[in-house]
Each structure stands twice: as C-alpha cells, then as structure tokens.
Structure 1
Amino acid sequence: MSGQMQFNSQSGAPGFKGPVTQMSYLCASCSKSNEIKPKEPIRCHDCGHRILYKKRTPRMVQFEAR
C-alpha cells in the first residue's frame, strides 16, 4: 500500500483522535468550575468573565533540580 493513506477502521479518518474532550477551568471572578470544549469562546458560563484558570493536575509532578 505504498503511496496510499491508511485509514483507521473504526473512525474512517486518518489521524482521528476520538471524541472531543472538555477541559475544566475555574473562573477568576466567581470561582465556579466551567467545562469548555475546543473552539468554544473562553467565557464563564455564570458571570461572563473572560479570565479562566486551568485546574491543576491531580497527579504529582516532580522535577529534578540541578
């Protein structure tokens, strides 16, 4: 199959990652949690504020210092 694109048998599209996941953000004004999808405007669903903070990962992240 040289020269031809191989399609994923489940989705039918090359390089398709699967269902779109939502990210969870915290509003800087009202501190409410917001679920935002890609390509959706960055605004709080409750107060309309445009500054949102990404939630910290629950797993431990450790870096080696020199």
Structure 2
Amino acid sequence: MDGGMAPPPPEPVSYLCGDCGADNSLKPGDVIQCRECGYRILYKKRTRRIVQYEAR
C-alpha cells in the first residue's frame, strides 16, 4: 500500500577539507575524503540557523 508520499532523498551536507580548504558535498554513504587532495579530515560548516539550548 503506497498511499503516502515517499520521504525526500537526503540532501548533501557541505564540509571543508582540513588540508586544502576545498568545499566538499557529501551524501550519506559517501567516502569521507576530500575530492581535491584526498585528505581524510573534513570539518562540517557552521549552520546559519540560530541554535539555542536551555541549561538546567
């Protein structure tokens, strides 16, 4: 029964290479590696959305 809509495919997330600084877009299941230089340390970009946590 496929009456409902299928969930949208996951969007790629942007990462910065720790060595050359290149911008990499990765989808779930992709190899975590820079496409320019092959470096394996990538940093996730900061979100533009305001994130606020409540401390208790």
Residues 30-57 of structure 1 show CA distances to partners (whole Å, capped at 9, x for unaligned) of: 1111011111100001010000011111
Percent of residue pairs identical: 48
Q: 1:64 Cα deviation (Å)?
A: 2.9
What are the ranges of 5 or more consecutive residues in structure 2 without an aligned counterpart? none
TM-score between both structures, scaled by the size of structure 2:
0.78
One-letter amino acid of the counterpart of residue 36, structure 1: L
Q: Which of 34, 50, 63 is equivalent to 2:24? A: 34
Q: How has the CA–CA distance of structure 1 residues 65 and 20 changed in structure 2, closer, same or farther, with 3 Å as cutoff?
A: closer
Unaligned runs of at least 5 residues, structure 1: 1-5, 11-15
User: What's the Cα RMSD here?
Assistant: 1.8
TM-score, length-scaled by structure 1: 0.69
**Distance (Å, rounded) in 1 between the aligned partners of 2:42 and 2:28:** 14
Aligned ranges for residues 1-66 of structure 1 at < 5 Å?
Answer: 6-10=1-5, 16-66=6-56
Count residues in correspondence: 56
| Matching residue of 1:13 | none
* Greater relative contact order (CA < 8 Å, ≥ 6 in sequence): 2
Q: CA deviation at 1:9?
A: 4.2
